[in-house]
Structure 1
Amino acid sequence: MPRRRPSRPLRPAAPSSCPCGTAAPYRDCCGRLHRGEAAATTAEALMRSRFSAFAVGDAGYLLRTWHPSTRPERLDLAGGPRWVRLEILETTGGSAVHTEGTVRFRAHYEDRGRPGAMEENSRFARHAGTWTYIGAI
């Protein structure tokens, strides 16, 4: 009869930082927004949560937070780059008291083992009381 090793108790994995760049664990940061437990209170918070959605492959969240006037019918994230880091370069408006705002950012990625980055100045607006992504300026 084979000897069995004593089983070790499983330890939960250490919380990993949210892809959006905060020190908070994903589950407590953008994960809350992705699960619908909270909504972005600023345009920057929405930008960060959308970057995280790209990083974790949550196309449903991206579509839900896209303004209806510019939202595509579907979004396929398969085969795209791996999003690894976000830098917020500038914001205008977009606070809890505004109805519109912009966020200029640089998103770093890896594609087929090669690093890259893209910059965009994105426009956001409130729609039905929540922040939505309209598109690049």
Structure 2
Amino acid sequence: MNGCYCNSQKIFKDCCEPYLKGSKQAPTAEALMRSRYSAYATHHADYLMATTHVSQRDLHSKEDILLWSTCNQWQKLEVLKTTATTVEFKAYYLDTNKKTHIHHEFSTFVQEEGSWYYVDGEYY
């Protein structure tokens, strides 16, 4: 894979990979959201749990995240609109029957002690 999964036009190792490996922290809500998309595409459920805000972690299970990330084939990410704490995006993927889906979400993020966390999302 040359380009990053998050469709940033950067190489994965120079874009989301350092966040997934823990060698860098996402500097913005958008960078975190992009890295979380890459985590779904590369099946990094631990990263997805760690970057979910502690107030929301009980609502998610690592097993469910891993299942959803592995049973879908992630096609591309389209960032529609960002603010300091929100990101609206569309994630395109194929399900196990090769049917195309679009996950359209308006996500909310919070920064605590220098780290960004996903809080929740509204789906369209």
If the length of structure 2 is used for normalisation, what is the TM-score? 0.87
Task: Tell me which of 69, 86, 94 is aligned to 2:77.
Answer: 86
Unaligned runs of 5+ in 2: none
Instruction: Give the aligned length.
Output: 116
Q: In percent, how many aligned pairs have the same letter?
A: 39
Pairs within 5 Å for 1:65-80 = 65-72=51-58, 74-76=61-63, 77-78=66-67, 79-80=70-71
Q: What residue in structure 2 maps to residue 24 of structure 1?
A: 10
**What is the root-mean-square deviation in Å for CA atoms of aligned residues?**
1.4
SS of structure 2 residue aligned to 1:24: coil
Secondary structure of the 2:26 match is: coil
Contact 1:86 1:106 in 2 (8 A): yes
* Larger Cα-atom Rg: 1
Residue 59 (structure 1) aligned with residue 45 (structure 2):
yes
Q: Partner residue of 2:22? A: 36
Under a length normalisation based on structure 1, what TM-score does the superposition of the two structures give?
Answer: 0.79
C-alpha deviations, 1:34-77, integer Å up to 9, x for none?
01111111100000000000000000110111100001363222
The reply to whether residue 115 of structure 1 matches residue 106 of structure 2 is no
Task: Look up the SS of the partner of 1:54 in the other structure.
Answer: helix
Q: Which runs of 5+ in 1 are unaligned?
A: 1-14, 95-100
**Structure 1 or 2: more helix by fraction:** 2
Q: Distance in 1 between matches of 2:100 and 2:106?
A: 21
